[in-house]
Amino acid sequence: MEPEDFPTPDVEVDEIEPAELKRRIDADESVTVLDTRMESEFTEWHVDGPTVEIANVPYFHFLDDEVDDDVLEQVPEGEPLVVLCAKGGASEYVAGVLAERGRDVVHLDDGMNGWARIYERVPVTRYDGPGDLYQYQRPSSGCLGYLLVSDGEAAVVDPLRAFTDRYLDDADELGADLTYAFDTHIHADHISGVRDLDERGVTGVVPEAARQRGVTYIDELATATDGDEFAVGDATVETVYTPGHTSGMTSYLLGGSLLATGDGLFVESVARPDLEEGDEGAPDAARQLHETLQERVLTLDDDVLVGGAHFSDAAEPAADGTYTAPIGQLVDEMAALTMAEDEFVDLILSDMPPRPANYEDIIATNLGQQEADDEEAFELELGPNNCAASQDALTGD
Protein backbone atom coordinates (compact mmCIF):
# COMPACT_ATOMS: atom_id res chain seq x y z
CA MET A 1 0.00 0.00 0.00
CA GLU A 2 1.11 3.55 -0.74
CA PRO A 3 1.16 6.15 2.08
CA GLU A 4 -1.93 7.90 0.71
CA ASP A 5 -3.90 4.63 0.87
CA PHE A 6 -3.95 4.54 4.67
CA PRO A 7 -6.73 6.23 6.63
CA THR A 8 -5.83 9.44 8.42
CA PRO A 9 -5.49 8.69 12.15
CA ASP A 10 -7.99 10.36 14.47
CA VAL A 11 -5.17 11.40 16.79
CA GLU A 12 -2.48 13.76 15.53
CA VAL A 13 0.94 12.14 15.63
CA ASP A 14 4.26 13.98 15.56
CA GLU A 15 7.02 13.04 13.13
CA ILE A 16 10.66 12.41 13.88
CA GLU A 17 13.17 13.18 11.16
CA PRO A 18 15.58 10.37 10.19
CA ALA A 19 18.58 12.57 11.03
CA GLU A 20 17.23 13.14 14.55
CA LEU A 21 16.72 9.41 15.07
CA LYS A 22 20.30 8.82 13.90
CA ARG A 23 21.55 11.54 16.29
CA ARG A 24 19.84 9.86 19.26
CA ILE A 25 21.32 6.48 18.35
CA ASP A 26 24.81 7.98 17.93
CA ALA A 27 24.44 9.70 21.30
CA ASP A 28 23.71 6.29 22.92
CA GLU A 29 20.23 7.40 23.95
CA SER A 30 17.70 4.63 24.55
CA VAL A 31 15.54 4.29 21.45
CA THR A 32 12.48 2.07 21.16
CA VAL A 33 11.26 1.21 17.66
CA LEU A 34 8.22 -0.55 16.25
CA ASP A 35 8.88 -1.59 12.65
CA THR A 36 5.58 -2.22 10.83
CA ARG A 37 6.96 -3.57 7.55
CA MET A 38 6.56 -7.19 6.51
CA GLU A 39 8.73 -9.69 8.34
CA SER A 40 10.86 -10.43 5.27
CA GLU A 41 11.67 -6.75 4.80
CA PHE A 42 12.49 -6.33 8.47
CA THR A 43 14.75 -9.38 8.49
CA GLU A 44 16.69 -8.12 5.48
CA TRP A 45 17.48 -4.69 6.95
CA HIS A 46 16.31 -2.48 9.80
CA VAL A 47 17.39 0.29 12.13
CA ASP A 48 19.90 -1.03 14.62
CA GLY A 49 22.29 0.07 17.35
CA PRO A 50 23.51 -0.92 20.83
CA THR A 51 20.82 1.17 22.57
CA VAL A 52 17.99 0.32 20.16
CA GLU A 53 15.13 -1.92 21.29
CA ILE A 54 13.16 -2.94 18.22
CA ALA A 55 10.18 -5.18 17.46
CA ASN A 56 8.51 -6.09 14.19
CA VAL A 57 4.70 -6.20 14.03
CA PRO A 58 3.40 -5.78 10.45
CA TYR A 59 0.93 -2.95 9.91
CA PHE A 60 -1.96 -5.14 8.80
CA HIS A 61 -2.39 -6.37 12.39
CA PHE A 62 -3.56 -2.85 13.27
CA LEU A 63 -6.14 -2.43 10.51
CA ASP A 64 -9.07 -4.00 12.38
CA ASP A 65 -11.37 -1.75 14.37
CA GLU A 66 -10.49 -3.75 17.46
CA VAL A 67 -6.78 -4.60 17.67
CA ASP A 68 -6.17 -7.92 19.42
CA ASP A 69 -4.57 -7.73 22.84
CA ASP A 70 -1.91 -10.24 21.80
CA VAL A 71 -0.85 -7.80 19.05
CA LEU A 72 -0.60 -4.92 21.50
CA GLU A 73 1.47 -7.09 23.81
CA GLN A 74 4.11 -7.38 21.08
CA VAL A 75 4.58 -3.59 20.98
CA PRO A 76 7.69 -2.54 22.96
CA GLU A 77 7.07 -0.63 26.19
CA GLY A 78 9.70 2.12 25.88
CA GLU A 79 8.59 5.70 25.24
CA PRO A 80 8.58 7.71 23.17
CA LEU A 81 7.95 4.85 20.74
CA VAL A 82 9.24 5.42 17.21
CA VAL A 83 6.95 3.73 14.67
CA LEU A 84 8.32 3.24 11.16
CA CYS A 85 7.44 1.58 7.86
CA ALA A 86 8.76 1.72 4.31
CA LYS A 87 7.52 5.19 3.26
CA GLY A 88 5.69 6.75 6.21
CA GLY A 89 2.00 6.04 5.56
CA ALA A 90 1.57 2.82 7.53
CA SER A 91 3.65 4.10 10.43
CA GLU A 92 1.56 7.27 10.78
CA TYR A 93 -1.61 5.17 10.86
CA VAL A 94 -0.26 2.62 13.35
CA ALA A 95 1.16 5.39 15.54
CA GLY A 96 -2.30 6.99 15.60
CA VAL A 97 -3.87 3.69 16.67
CA LEU A 98 -1.38 3.40 19.52
CA ALA A 99 -1.77 7.08 20.48
CA GLU A 100 -5.52 6.49 20.88
CA ARG A 101 -4.59 3.87 23.46
CA GLY A 102 -2.47 6.32 25.41
CA ARG A 103 0.99 5.57 24.05
CA ASP A 104 3.59 8.32 23.64
CA VAL A 105 4.47 7.81 19.96
CA VAL A 106 6.10 9.47 16.98
CA HIS A 107 6.46 8.12 13.46
CA LEU A 108 9.55 8.23 11.24
CA ASP A 109 9.14 10.75 8.44
CA ASP A 110 9.42 9.02 5.03
CA GLY A 111 10.07 5.69 6.76
CA MET A 112 13.03 3.56 5.72
CA ASN A 113 13.24 5.56 2.49
CA GLY A 114 14.09 8.57 4.64
CA TRP A 115 16.57 6.49 6.63
CA ALA A 116 18.27 5.59 3.33
CA ARG A 117 18.73 9.29 2.52
CA ILE A 118 20.99 9.89 5.51
CA TYR A 119 24.51 10.52 4.21
CA GLU A 120 27.14 11.89 6.57
CA ARG A 121 30.56 13.43 5.86
CA VAL A 122 33.11 12.62 8.55
CA PRO A 123 36.71 13.93 8.63
CA VAL A 124 39.44 11.27 8.53
CA THR A 125 41.67 12.78 11.20
CA ARG A 126 44.49 10.25 10.79
CA TYR A 127 44.94 11.17 7.14
CA ASP A 128 48.34 12.87 6.90
CA GLY A 129 48.64 13.57 3.17
CA PRO A 130 48.19 16.95 1.46
CA GLY A 131 44.83 18.64 2.05
CA ASP A 132 41.89 17.09 3.89
CA LEU A 133 40.11 13.77 3.54
CA TYR A 134 36.51 12.93 4.43
CA GLN A 135 34.61 9.66 4.57
CA TYR A 136 30.99 9.55 3.45
CA GLN A 137 28.80 7.14 5.43
CA ARG A 138 25.36 5.82 4.52
CA PRO A 139 24.14 3.98 7.63
CA SER A 140 21.15 2.33 5.94
CA SER A 141 23.33 0.25 3.61
CA GLY A 142 26.82 0.63 5.03
CA CYS A 143 28.08 2.34 1.86
CA LEU A 144 31.26 4.42 2.22
CA GLY A 145 32.86 6.97 -0.09
CA TYR A 146 35.73 9.45 0.13
CA LEU A 147 36.19 13.14 -0.63
CA LEU A 148 39.76 14.42 -1.02
CA VAL A 149 40.18 18.20 -0.95
CA SER A 150 43.50 19.91 -1.67
CA ASP A 151 44.43 23.42 -2.80
CA GLY A 152 41.08 24.30 -4.35
CA GLU A 153 40.45 20.95 -6.04
CA ALA A 154 38.54 17.88 -4.92
CA ALA A 155 37.97 14.26 -5.93
CA VAL A 156 35.33 11.77 -4.82
CA VAL A 157 35.81 8.00 -4.73
CA ASP A 158 32.85 5.61 -5.13
CA PRO A 159 30.10 8.25 -5.40
CA LEU A 160 26.44 7.22 -5.23
CA ARG A 161 24.10 8.48 -7.93
CA ALA A 162 21.49 9.43 -5.31
CA PHE A 163 23.88 12.03 -3.87
CA THR A 164 25.28 13.61 -7.04
CA ASP A 165 24.30 17.13 -5.96
CA ARG A 166 25.72 16.55 -2.49
CA TYR A 167 29.28 16.01 -3.75
CA LEU A 168 29.20 19.19 -5.82
CA ASP A 169 27.72 21.18 -2.93
CA ASP A 170 30.23 19.81 -0.41
CA ALA A 171 33.20 20.62 -2.63
CA ASP A 172 31.87 24.13 -3.09
CA GLU A 173 31.33 24.51 0.66
CA LEU A 174 34.95 23.47 1.23
CA GLY A 175 36.22 26.01 -1.29
CA ALA A 176 37.08 23.55 -4.03
CA ASP A 177 36.06 22.51 -7.53
CA LEU A 178 35.16 18.85 -7.87
CA THR A 179 37.53 17.73 -10.62
CA TYR A 180 37.47 13.90 -10.48
CA ALA A 181 35.00 11.13 -9.63
CA PHE A 182 36.54 7.64 -9.33
CA ASP A 183 34.88 4.24 -9.26
CA THR A 184 36.83 1.36 -7.76
CA HIS A 185 34.84 -1.27 -9.67
CA ILE A 186 31.44 -2.20 -11.07
CA HIS A 187 29.36 -2.09 -7.93
CA ALA A 188 26.72 -4.70 -7.12
CA ASP A 189 24.90 -2.95 -4.27
CA HIS A 190 24.34 0.66 -5.37
CA ILE A 191 24.04 2.75 -8.52
CA SER A 192 27.27 4.60 -9.29
CA GLY A 193 27.27 8.38 -9.56
CA VAL A 194 30.36 8.63 -11.76
CA ARG A 195 28.48 9.04 -15.06
CA ASP A 196 26.10 11.64 -13.61
CA LEU A 197 29.01 13.63 -12.20
CA ASP A 198 30.85 13.40 -15.53
CA GLU A 199 27.77 14.90 -17.21
CA ARG A 200 28.00 17.75 -14.68
CA GLY A 201 31.55 18.67 -15.74
CA VAL A 202 33.53 16.40 -13.40
CA THR A 203 36.01 13.99 -15.00
CA GLY A 204 34.63 10.51 -14.40
CA VAL A 205 37.23 7.76 -14.01
CA VAL A 206 36.63 4.00 -14.14
CA PRO A 207 39.19 1.17 -14.05
CA GLU A 208 40.50 0.20 -17.46
CA ALA A 209 40.40 -3.39 -16.17
CA ALA A 210 36.59 -3.16 -16.04
CA ARG A 211 36.44 -2.89 -19.85
CA GLN A 212 36.32 -6.68 -20.17
CA ARG A 213 33.01 -6.74 -18.32
CA GLY A 214 31.28 -4.93 -21.15
CA VAL A 215 31.00 -1.38 -19.76
CA THR A 216 29.07 0.32 -22.55
CA TYR A 217 30.19 3.88 -21.72
CA ILE A 218 33.86 3.29 -20.89
CA ASP A 219 35.15 5.21 -23.91
CA GLU A 220 33.17 8.27 -22.82
CA LEU A 221 35.08 8.53 -19.53
CA ALA A 222 38.70 8.55 -18.41
CA THR A 223 40.17 5.20 -17.38
CA ALA A 224 42.74 4.27 -14.75
CA THR A 225 45.39 1.57 -15.09
CA ASP A 226 47.82 0.29 -12.48
CA GLY A 227 50.32 2.99 -11.52
CA ASP A 228 48.42 5.91 -13.05
CA GLU A 229 48.49 9.11 -11.03
CA PHE A 230 45.94 11.93 -10.93
CA ALA A 231 46.73 15.34 -9.41
CA VAL A 232 44.17 16.82 -7.05
CA GLY A 233 45.62 20.13 -5.91
CA ASP A 234 48.82 19.25 -4.06
CA ALA A 235 47.67 15.64 -3.51
CA THR A 236 48.10 12.63 -5.75
CA VAL A 237 45.62 9.83 -6.38
CA GLU A 238 47.59 6.71 -7.36
CA THR A 239 45.93 3.74 -9.05
CA VAL A 240 46.60 0.30 -7.55
CA TYR A 241 45.12 -2.68 -9.42
CA THR A 242 43.64 -5.04 -6.79
CA PRO A 243 41.58 -7.81 -8.45
CA GLY A 244 39.74 -10.47 -6.47
CA HIS A 245 36.31 -9.19 -5.55
CA THR A 246 35.94 -8.50 -9.26
CA SER A 247 38.40 -8.88 -12.12
CA GLY A 248 38.48 -5.09 -12.53
CA MET A 249 38.71 -4.16 -8.84
CA THR A 250 41.00 -1.13 -8.47
CA SER A 251 42.07 0.75 -5.36
CA TYR A 252 43.21 4.36 -5.09
CA LEU A 253 46.00 5.56 -2.79
CA LEU A 254 44.90 9.02 -1.68
CA GLY A 255 47.67 11.42 -0.78
CA GLY A 256 49.95 8.49 0.01
CA SER A 257 48.02 8.05 3.26
CA LEU A 258 44.76 6.13 2.71
CA LEU A 259 44.08 3.27 0.32
CA ALA A 260 40.47 3.38 -0.84
CA THR A 261 40.07 -0.36 -1.35
CA GLY A 262 36.53 -0.50 -2.71
CA ASP A 263 35.25 -3.97 -1.88
CA GLY A 264 38.67 -5.63 -1.69
CA LEU A 265 39.40 -5.16 2.01
CA PHE A 266 37.28 -3.75 4.82
CA VAL A 267 38.15 -2.95 8.42
CA GLU A 268 36.25 -6.06 9.58
CA SER A 269 36.45 -8.46 6.64
CA VAL A 270 37.68 -9.21 3.14
CA ALA A 271 35.80 -9.26 -0.15
CA ARG A 272 33.40 -11.95 -1.23
CA PRO A 273 34.61 -13.49 -4.52
CA ASP A 274 31.39 -14.70 -6.15
CA LEU A 275 29.50 -11.68 -7.49
CA GLU A 276 31.11 -11.59 -10.94
CA GLU A 277 31.51 -15.24 -11.93
CA GLY A 278 29.11 -16.86 -9.45
CA ASP A 279 29.83 -19.89 -7.28
CA GLU A 280 31.70 -21.65 -10.07
CA GLY A 281 34.25 -18.87 -10.48
CA ALA A 282 34.53 -18.00 -6.79
CA PRO A 283 37.50 -20.30 -5.93
CA ASP A 284 39.72 -18.77 -8.62
CA ALA A 285 38.66 -15.26 -7.61
CA ALA A 286 39.42 -16.08 -3.97
CA ARG A 287 42.92 -17.21 -4.92
CA GLN A 288 43.40 -14.01 -6.88
CA LEU A 289 42.19 -12.00 -3.88
CA HIS A 290 44.73 -13.72 -1.62
CA GLU A 291 47.54 -12.84 -4.06
CA THR A 292 46.31 -9.25 -4.30
CA LEU A 293 46.19 -8.78 -0.54
CA GLN A 294 49.58 -10.34 0.07
CA GLU A 295 51.48 -8.73 -2.82
CA ARG A 296 49.74 -5.42 -3.50
CA VAL A 297 48.01 -4.25 -0.31
CA LEU A 298 49.84 -5.65 2.71
CA THR A 299 53.20 -4.66 1.20
CA LEU A 300 52.32 -1.00 1.78
CA ASP A 301 53.56 0.70 4.95
CA ASP A 302 51.85 -0.46 8.14
CA ASP A 303 50.59 3.05 8.88
CA VAL A 304 48.76 3.45 5.55
CA LEU A 305 45.07 3.59 6.33
CA VAL A 306 42.59 1.21 4.71
CA GLY A 307 39.18 2.58 3.83
CA GLY A 308 36.71 0.21 2.18
CA ALA A 309 33.53 1.00 0.27
CA HIS A 310 31.34 -0.55 2.97
CA PHE A 311 31.02 -1.32 6.64
CA SER A 312 28.86 -3.92 8.37
CA ASP A 313 27.32 -4.24 11.82
CA ALA A 314 30.51 -6.07 12.85
CA ALA A 315 32.71 -3.05 12.08
CA GLU A 316 33.99 -0.85 14.90
CA PRO A 317 34.59 2.80 14.01
CA ALA A 318 37.92 4.42 14.79
CA ALA A 319 38.25 7.20 17.36
CA ASP A 320 37.40 9.79 14.70
CA GLY A 321 34.15 7.98 13.84
CA THR A 322 35.38 6.70 10.47
CA TYR A 323 35.58 3.09 9.35
CA THR A 324 39.31 3.20 8.65
CA ALA A 325 42.28 1.35 10.14
CA PRO A 326 46.05 1.13 9.53
CA ILE A 327 47.23 -1.88 7.56
CA GLY A 328 49.39 -3.02 10.48
CA GLN A 329 46.38 -3.06 12.80
CA LEU A 330 44.32 -5.12 10.36
CA VAL A 331 47.12 -7.67 10.00
CA ASP A 332 47.22 -8.02 13.79
CA GLU A 333 43.45 -8.35 14.15
CA MET A 334 42.26 -10.25 11.08
CA ALA A 335 43.41 -13.85 10.97
CA ALA A 336 42.53 -14.18 7.27
CA LEU A 337 45.32 -11.75 6.35
CA THR A 338 48.04 -14.08 7.63
CA MET A 339 46.67 -17.35 6.25
CA ALA A 340 48.22 -19.46 3.53
CA GLU A 341 46.33 -19.44 0.24
CA ASP A 342 44.47 -22.75 0.60
CA GLU A 343 43.33 -21.96 4.15
CA PHE A 344 42.25 -18.46 3.08
CA VAL A 345 40.23 -19.76 0.13
CA ASP A 346 38.52 -22.44 2.23
CA LEU A 347 37.61 -19.88 4.88
CA ILE A 348 35.99 -17.24 2.72
CA LEU A 349 34.08 -19.80 0.65
CA SER A 350 32.79 -21.64 3.72
CA ASP A 351 30.04 -19.27 4.82
CA MET A 352 29.07 -16.91 2.02
CA PRO A 353 26.35 -14.41 3.03
CA PRO A 354 23.27 -13.79 0.85
CA ARG A 355 23.96 -11.83 -2.31
CA PRO A 356 23.00 -8.13 -2.26
CA ALA A 357 19.38 -7.38 -3.06
CA ASN A 358 18.75 -6.71 -6.76
CA TYR A 359 22.46 -7.17 -7.47
CA GLU A 360 21.95 -8.41 -11.04
CA ASP A 361 19.90 -5.35 -12.01
CA ILE A 362 22.33 -3.03 -10.21
CA ILE A 363 25.33 -4.54 -12.01
CA ALA A 364 23.55 -4.30 -15.37
CA THR A 365 22.70 -0.65 -14.68
CA ASN A 366 26.27 0.16 -13.65
CA LEU A 367 27.54 -1.54 -16.81
CA GLY A 368 25.22 0.68 -18.85
CA GLN A 369 23.36 -2.34 -20.18
CA GLN A 370 19.99 -1.25 -18.77
CA GLU A 371 18.50 2.04 -17.65
CA ALA A 372 16.93 3.16 -14.38
CA ASP A 373 15.51 6.58 -13.61
CA ASP A 374 16.36 8.25 -10.31
CA GLU A 375 13.43 6.75 -8.41
CA GLU A 376 14.04 3.26 -9.80
CA ALA A 377 17.75 3.54 -8.98
CA PHE A 378 16.98 4.57 -5.40
CA GLU A 379 14.56 1.67 -4.95
CA LEU A 380 17.04 -0.83 -6.39
CA GLU A 381 19.70 -0.09 -3.81
CA LEU A 382 17.54 -0.11 -0.68
CA GLY A 383 18.71 -2.70 1.83
CA PRO A 384 22.02 -4.17 3.02
CA ASN A 385 25.11 -4.39 0.82
CA ASN A 386 26.45 -7.92 1.61
CA CYS A 387 29.60 -7.36 -0.48
CA ALA A 388 31.95 -8.77 2.15
CA ALA A 389 32.68 -12.35 3.05
CA SER A 390 31.11 -13.54 6.28
CA GLN A 391 32.82 -12.11 9.36
CA ASP A 392 32.73 -15.52 11.09
CA ALA A 393 36.29 -16.58 11.93
CA LEU A 394 37.91 -13.83 9.84
CA THR A 395 39.15 -12.02 12.92
CA GLY A 396 40.20 -15.15 14.72
CA ASP A 397 37.97 -14.31 17.71
The set of catalytic residues is 85
Contact 296, 242 (CB under 8 A): yes
The DSSP output letter for 258 is E
d(CA 379, CA 270): 27
Q: Is the distance from CB of 90 to CB of 69 less than 8 angstroms?
A: no
Strands (E), 61-173: 81-84, 105-108, 120-123, 132-138, 143-150, 153-157
- How far apart CA 158 and CA 261 sit, in angstroms, is 10
Dihedral sign from CA coordinates of 291, 307, 27, 101: negative
| Buried residues in 361-387 as b, exposed as e (16+ CB within 10 A) | bbbbbbbeeeebeeeebbebbbbbbbb
Please tell me the distance from the alpha carbon of residue 45 to that of residue 25, in angstroms, as a whole number.
16
Asked if residues 115 and 47 have their Cβ atoms less than 8 Å apart, the reply is: yes
The answer to whether residues 192 and 209 touch, using CB atoms and an 8 Å cutoff, is no
Q: Are 365 and 311 in contact (CB under 8 A)?
A: no
Q: Where are the alpha helices (DSSP H) in the chain?
A: 18-26, 39-44, 69-72, 89-100, 111-115, 164-173, 194-199, 278-292, 327-333, 341-350, 359-366, 374-380
Residue 201, C-beta contacts closer than 8 angstroms, at least 6 positions apart? none
Rounded CA gap, 130 and 280, in Å?
A: 44
Q: Write phi, then psi, for 153 (nearest 5 degrees).
A: -125, 160
